[in-house]
A and B are shown apart, each in its own frame.
Chain A
Amino acid sequence: MLIEVGHFALVLALIFSVLLVVLPSIGLYQNKFSLAQLAKPLVWVQCFWIAVAFFVLMSAFLTNDFSVKYVADNSNTQLPILYKASAVWGAHEGSLLLWVFVLSLWSVAVSLFSKRIPSDLLNQILIVLGAVSFGFLLFLLFTSNPFERLMLPPLEGRELNPLLQDFGLAVHPPMLYMGYVGLAVPFAFVVSALIRGQLDSTWLRWTRPWALISWAFLTVGITLGSWWAYYELGWGGWWFWDPVENASFMPWLVATALIHSLSVSEKRGAFRQWTVLLAIGGFSLSLLGTFLVRSGVLTSVHAFATDPTRGLFILIFLFIVIGGSLVLYSMRYNLLQKSNPFALFSRETGLLINNILLVTAMLSVLLGTLYPLILDSLNLGKISVGAPYFKAVFVPIMLPAVLALAIFPFVRWKKDNFSRIASLLRYDWIGIVLLTLLARVVLTDNIYVLIAIGLFIWVSVHIMVLFINRIREKSKFSLAFIGMIIAHLGIAVFVLGATVTTQLGIEKDIKMSVGESQNIAGYDFIFNGVSPYKKNNYSGFIGDISVYKIGKKITQLRPEKRYYQSGMPMTEAAIDPSFTRDLYVALGEELAGGAWSVRVYYKPLVRWIWLGGLMIALGALFAAMDRRYFLRIKS
């Protein structure tokens, strides 16, 4: 009966999402205060029932209730308890339930932490969030019911995809969804402002902290995904340019543009039209990602389903969201036209350049992602757009953005002149050039690495100067300022890590027999053999490799080759991590004569990629905590 209670709880949540749209709307437009103020309780009760449904499904996994089809398809009695819990979002139905649950949590957060937002605006925002959750609940219940029962329950369930039987799965999707779904909040702010025709300081001020928090989660989610792919997929890559990865990266690029555009709109009242379009675009791209993953148009490690009905539903929803928002936008266009003027050389221009570059980068990724799908669907042939395209197009677009992010924090709002900046920073620029030349002499002659080192020094030195100037001027260090510094430094750390590991990393696929040694980047890898072993839900082989450097033992690596119930082989890499390099070993296939194929990687600065990602997210959280967003307003 518990399963039926979970199912019915979802139905109740759907009904309350209808009430959330209808009752407060009647209240707002007929000035019935009590009905308008019902938005918050409706959000709470809706979230409560979704939480009930979510935990009922989780309990079905934990208690091995194979009468539930979704549980029987994705779990079995031998699955470790952590993976039973995370298996809830391991396939389409459950992950969609997680999506809806996260959306309801965001709605509750908005209702609780928005005491400084005028009631009418807040109620309107909750109505829009209710409409979005209505769409997803409808999708969940009518096309992807996770509580479907089996008439003949099996004694044993199938298996969670072995790739997903990992700690990374337990944390990556919830974080990513927090970001993905979180973009619904700035979207709801913008749509509410458009519906009310009140495109004033208030919505601009309060949209930014929510955009920053959802962007921080999206950053953490993408970073965790990259880390998971690195250690779990067994070939040492940290970014595939896989269409589904791109689907999360595109909203990230637009959200990055949005938080910068919002700062201009909030501070200077400019770019309002642009800010509105970016908020709509960010959420629309997260819906597009949902469509790509769940419609069956993609085949990927991330793709959940091959069901055209589901794809059609999301496509219709996507059209309603984008179409409806753009119609509203065109209706309120006159109200958005007002903008305060600024000179060609000003901070506004810098942020405009940032926005243009980010949106261009997003469009280049969008083109590379959708073009093969469009050609395929029109029967014009199959093409594959891979890393070479993305690297060739994306990197040159983002290069000037990294250069600009160091300079423009020095430039004044409204109007400035280049000579003032040049005289302020000329000695630093000379120092940066000299340091880069020194790196050429001392470290490497690889041009890409030198550019990355140059960029790292460029950003770091400018941030240092900015910091010193603030101290000299005895200015206060606001959390927004500290957040900006951490995030920009995070970009520099990421660029250096990504470039160095890509350019200077060493990868070798070798055949190793027992006792054989291989030298890679000054490390001796000695193969001690492989032994079989068996665990509850898989069996496999474990390798034993000793690593020495100049005769001194560094570490013992034990890569695994696992075979799960489904027969699917899995490579579990063994990694010796450190701040400056990773030593990475993955076991391949058994060869004749007791030898094994082994992949050995030396990955310099690879950890900097994820460190940079975490710094960017941390910076966003700092910025969202700025005291400006804790303004005391008295009625």
Chain B
Amino acid sequence: MILSWQFILMIVLSSLFLAWFLYRPIKSNLSDDDSNIAINRQRQNELESDISQGLIEKAQYQEAEEEIISTLASELNKNESKNITIKPLIWSMMIFLFVGVLSLSVYSQLAPKIMPNADNGINEPLSMTESINKLESYLIENPEDFQAWKMLGLAQVGTGNVEKSIESFEKAFLINPNDIDLLLQYASAIAANQDGKFYGKSKILIEKALSLDPQSIQVLYFAGIVAAHQADLDQARDYWQKAIYLMPESHPDRNIIEEALDTILNLQVK
């Protein structure tokens, strides 16, 4: 569970705010009877204004007046109830405990189980190896967590353990085979194990990503690489040109694709 001073502060401030109103309750404005009397009196005034302007006749006025009186009579309710005083301190404590316990319990259920940099108030980032260990122990208890498997795979790629990363990506793939980002990472890991060549399963994975999202810039970039490895330079050029067209001017990956495209064009010219 994630517990931080900000949360405690939020709970304390809210509880103090409510406690203030327990000690100094907002004044009651008026009763139902006051309100009904005032409204029906106003109706009667309107009626008198209507008859003075000749909008209604005397008989109508009398009928309407009787209706107002009978309505008011039926609405008046003299059941005044006694106010029972409470002990503000006890209620304030109860509110504080209720809000504190319940809000933190609900939040611990809803919050992500792994929060980088949020453990025990330590703000220093974990090393890659520590992250991998933590993820591995987490995945023993939560083997169906797709994001965790994907993250583990990425971390393993980061430490150069490509074989292991392929295993982790495979686990993630079995849980969700339609995640574009995973398909690209998984294909890259396999390709890294094949001297950087995209063939076999890595090619199939890129093709699957392309069928899922033919407009994705990243997918188009990888599809271009696959086509280039197949020596289909026209196809590679088409993919990269499309990617560049879809990219904003200031996209960070723009230069990479432009360079790849230049290489292809130079090769084609030669």
Contact = CB atoms under 8 A, between A and B. Distances in A.
B245 A539 contact: yes
A121 B86 CA distance: 21
Given A12-B10, A37-B25, A7 B39 contact: no
Given A11-B107, A152-B181, A198-B77, A118 B249 contact: no
A76 B246 CA distance: 13
B86 A151 contact: no
B151 A15 contact: no
Contact of B35 (A16, A118, A537): A118
Contact of A152 (B21, B40, B154): B154
Interface in B80-99: 81-86, 88, 91, 95, 98-99
Contacts, number: 209
Interface string A143-185: 0010011111011100000000000000000000000000000
A145 B42 CA distance: 49
B248 A536 contact: yes
A503 interface: no
Given A38-B18, A151-B148, A474-B53, A338 B36 contact: no
Given A31-B84, A37-B28, A633-B30, A16 B14 contact: yes
A635 B30 contact: yes
A500 to B, nearest CB: 38
B34 A4 contact: no
Given A4-B2, A149-B112, A34 B88 contact: yes
Contact of B251 (A152, A156, A200, A474): A156
Contact of B248 (A78, A121, A412): A78
A39 to B, nearest CB: 9
Contacts of B204: none
Nearest to B151: A151
A118 B82 contact: no
Contacts of A4: 2, 4, 6, 111, 115, 118
The interface residues of chain B, by DSSP majority, are classed as: helix
Contact of B102 (A15, A119, A415, A567): A15
Interface stretch (A41-49, A212-220, A505-513): A41-49
Given A149-B112, A634-B34, A34 B86 contact: yes
B51 interface: no
A302 interface: no
B25 A142 contact: no
B125 interface: no
Nearest to A200: B75
B147 interface: yes
Contacts of A244: none
Interface string A209-230: 0000000000000000000000
7 closest cross-chain pairs (CB), A and B: A633-B38, A567-B215, A200-B75, A119-B28, A41-B21, A151-B147, A37-B25
Interface of A: 1, 4-5, 7-9, 11-12, 14-16, 18-19, 23, 30-35, 37-38, 40-42, 45, 49, 76-78, 115-122, 141-142, 145, 148-152, 154-156, 198, 200-202, 205, 267-269, 338, 340, 412-415, 473-475, 534, 536-537, 539, 563, 565-567, 628, 631-635
Interface of B: 2, 4, 6-7, 10-11, 14, 17-18, 20-22, 25-26, 28-32, 34-36, 38-40, 42-43, 53-56, 60, 63-64, 67, 71-72, 74-75, 77, 81-86, 88, 91, 95, 98-99, 102-103, 106-107, 110-112, 114-115, 118, 147-148, 150-151, 154, 181, 215, 217, 245-252
10 contacts: A12-B10, A14-B106, A30-B84, A31-B82, A34-B88, A45-B17, A149-B112, A536-B248, A566-B215, A634-B38
